[in-house]
Amino acid sequence: METINDNIRQLLEMLDNPEAYTEQEIQNIINRDEDTRETYRLMVEAKRSSRQHQADKPIDVNAAWQKFNQMNTPKKHHLGWMKIPCRASRVAASFIAVLLVSGIAFAAIHIVRSVVGGDLKSPTQESQISISHHPNVPTDTQTADTIATSQPVIYDNIPLEKMLPEIATHYDAKVTFVKDDARQLRFRFVWNPQKGIDQVVSDLNQFERLTVTLSDNQIIVE
Amino acid sequence: MLDNRILEQLFRRNYSEMIHLARVLLGDDGEAEDVVQDIFLRVADSDIMPKNDSYLLTAVRNACLSKIRQMQLHEKVKHLLPIEAETDLQPVDKQQGRHDDITAFVDEQMKEPHCSIFHLRFDEDLTISEIAHRLGLNPNTTYKYLAQSIQQIRNHFKR
C-alpha cells in the first residue's frame, strides 16, 4: 500500500510541475505500475468531467457562424465546375462576363439591324443604353446567370457595406450607415435592377435586423 | 458543395454541442474552435449531408484525439490529456454520461476536505502546495487526501 502511495505521490508531484522532468522521466513515472497508470487515466477523466461541468458557459452561435462563413466565403466564389484557384476563377468569371456583355450588345445590334435595316445609329445607341444599365457589380458577387442586365443579382452572404453601395450606384444614390454594426451584416438578397429604389428599400426592410430608409436619394441604414 | 442554407441549419443546430465536446476533450477554447470549424469546412466542401447529428460529435471526438496524439508529451501532461492513443472508444454520449457520474459522485458522496481538494485541483488547476496554502493544510496531508479522492472514484466506478 505504501509503495502505491509513493508512486502516486510522485505522479502528483510531477503533474504539478512537468517542465522539471524529461520525457523519459514522465513516461517512467506514469508507467511505473498498473496502479499509477490507472491513476493518471482517472485523473484525465476527472479533468474531463470538471471541464464538462465548467464548459456550460454561453456559446455565441451567431458569432461563430459569421466567423465560419467568412472563412468559407472565398470557397463559394470558386467556379465549382472549373476547379481552378480563386484568383484564376475571378479572372475567368470577368472574362465570361465581358463575353456575355459583348454577346448581348452584338445580339442587340444584330436584331435591330435586321428590323430597321441599314440605320446604324439608333440601334447602336440602344445597345449602349442597355450596357450602361448593367450594375457595377464585381463578378465574384454574381452567379453565372445574373450577369445580364435585366436578370436579378444574387448577393449571397456578402457584407451589407459591399452590397448596398453597388446597388445604390445603379440608382445614383448614396449610402449612409448610422451604426457601424450594420456594415458587416450578411444576407441572401436578390436584387432586381428593374425594380425602383423604393421597392428595393422596402425589400431590404423585410430583414428583421435591418431598418433602411430613403431620404434625398440617400439610403440610410440604421 | 452543400447548399449554404442547409449548412447554416446544420451549423446552428450542432455547433454548441460540438464546441462543448471539443473543449472537454482538448481543454483549450481556441483549439476546440479550430477543430469544429475544420469539420464544418469539410462538410461544406462535400455534397453529402452527414448521416445524422451524432456523426458530427463522433467526428469532433476523433479530430480531438488525433490532435492530442500530435502533441508533445509535456503539453499532454500539463493539460491532463491522455498520453496514449485511446483504443476503447465508447460512444460520445456514454463518455459524457460517465463524466456526469464522476461530478455527481464528487459533489454528493465525497466528504470534506477531499471534495474541496478535488475541485481546487481539477477545476482551478491549483498545485498541491497552493491547495495546502488555500485550505491551511500540510502539503503532505494534501497529497494524501488527493490520492484518496482519486482512489475513492476508482473504487466507486469499479463496482
pLDDT value at position B138? 92
Q: Find, in chain B, the residue whose alpha carbon is nearest to that of A24.
A: B73
CA distance A111 to A93: 26
pLDDT value at position A157? 67
**Residue A68 included in any domain:** no
CA distance A221 to B11: 28
pLDDT value at position A56? 65
pLDDT value at position A93? 40
pLDDT value at position A91? 38
**Residue A159 included in any domain:** yes
pLDDT value at position B75? 93
What would the DSSP string read from start to end of B45-109? H-SS--SSHHHHHHHHHHHHHHHHHHS-HHHHHHTT--SS---S---HHHHHHHHHHHHHHHHHH
Q: What is the pTM of this model?
A: 0.58
Do A144 and A217 lie in one domain? The reply is yes
Chains A and B: how many Cβ contacts under 8 Å? 129
Helical axes A2-16 vs A34-54, angle rounded to 10°? 50
Do A50 and A99 lie in one domain? The reply is no
* pLDDT tens digits, B91-145: 888 888 989 999 999 999 999 999 999 999 999 999 999 999 999 999 999 999 9
Do A141 and A210 lie in one domain? The reply is yes
pLDDT value at position B12? 92
- Containing structural domain, residue A94: 73-132
pLDDT value at position A125? 37
**Residue A222 included in any domain:** yes
Q: Which residues of A touch B4 (CB under 8 A)?
A: 76, 156-157, 188
Question: What is the number of alpha carbons within 13 Å of residue B67 lying toward its C-beta?
Answer: 21
Do A110 and A178 lie in one domain? The reply is no
Phi-psi sector, A172: left (phi>0), alpha (psi -120 to 50), beta: left
What cell numbers appear for B90 in the block? 465508447
pLDDT value at position B129? 93
Q: Which residues of B touch A68 (CB under 8 A)?
A: 11, 37, 40-41
Q: Is A68 on the interface with B (CB under 8 A)?
A: yes
**Residue A61 included in any domain:** no
**Residue A64 included in any domain:** no
CB contact under 8 A, A12 and B41: no
Q: Is A64 on the interface with B (CB under 8 A)?
A: yes
Measured at the CA of B30, the angle between CA B29 and CA B33, to 5 degrees, comes to 85
B100, B122, B148, best to mutate vs chain A, most A CBs in 10 Å: B122
* pLDDT tens digits, A6-37: 888 999 999 999 999 999 999 999 999 898 99
- Percent of chain B clearing pLDDT 70 (strictly above): 94
CB contact under 8 A, B154 and A39: yes
The CATH number that applies at residue A195 is 3.55.50.30
Per-residue three-class SS string for A40-52? HHHHHHHHHHHHH
CA distance A160 to A176: 11
Distance of CA B116 to the CA centre of its chain: 20
Average pLDDT of chain B is 89
Do A147 and A124 lie in one domain? The reply is no
Final residue belonging to a domain, choices A132, A165, A199: A132
Q: Identify the structural domains of chain B with CATH numbers, from first to last.
A: 4-78 (1.10.1740), 92-158 (1.10.10.10)
- Give the minimum alpha-carbon distance from B159 to chain A in angstroms, rounded to a whole number: 15
Q: Find, in chain B, the residue whose alpha carbon is nearest to that of A64.
A: B15
The DSSP bridge partners found for residue B125 are none
pLDDT value at position A207? 65
CA distance A154 to A157: 10
Residue from the list B102, B127, B144 with its beta carbon closest to the beta carbon of A49? B102
- Give the minimum alpha-carbon distance from B5 to chain A in angstroms, rounded to a whole number: 9
Q: Is A192 on the interface with B (CB under 8 A)?
A: no
Do A207 and A164 lie in one domain? The reply is yes
Is there a contact between B1 and A75 (Cβ–Cβ < 8 Å)? yes
pLDDT value at position A151? 67
- ipTM value of the model? 0.91
Interface of A with B in 27-46 (CB under 8 A): 27, 30, 38-46
pLDDT value at position A162? 81
Is there a contact between A142 and A180 (Cβ–Cβ < 8 Å)? no
pLDDT value at position A39? 92
**Residue A125 included in any domain:** yes
Do A183 and A165 lie in one domain? The reply is yes
CB contact under 8 A, B11 and A65: yes
pLDDT value at position A73? 67
**Residue A88 included in any domain:** yes
Length reported for chain B: 159
The DSSP bridge partners found for residue A199 are none
- What is the mean predicted confidence (pLDDT) over B77-96? 84
Count of domains forming chain A: 3
Q: Which residues of B touch A71 (CB under 8 A)?
A: 37, 41
Q: Find, in chain A, the residue whose alpha carbon is nearest to that of B80.
A: A44
**Residue A149 included in any domain:** yes
Return per-residue pLDDT of chain A as tens, 222 residues: 444 478 889 999 999 999 999 999 999 999 998 989 999 999 999 999 999 988 667 788 988 998 888 877 655 444 333 333 333 333 344 434 444 444 444 444 343 444 444 333 333 333 333 333 333 433 333 333 333 446 677 766 677 888 888 888 888 888 888 877 788 777 666 777 777 887 778 777 666 567 788 887 888 888
DSSP single-letter state for residue B111: P
* pLDDT tens digits, B7-66: 888 899 999 999 999 999 999 989 999 999 999 988 888 766 776 778 899 999 999 999
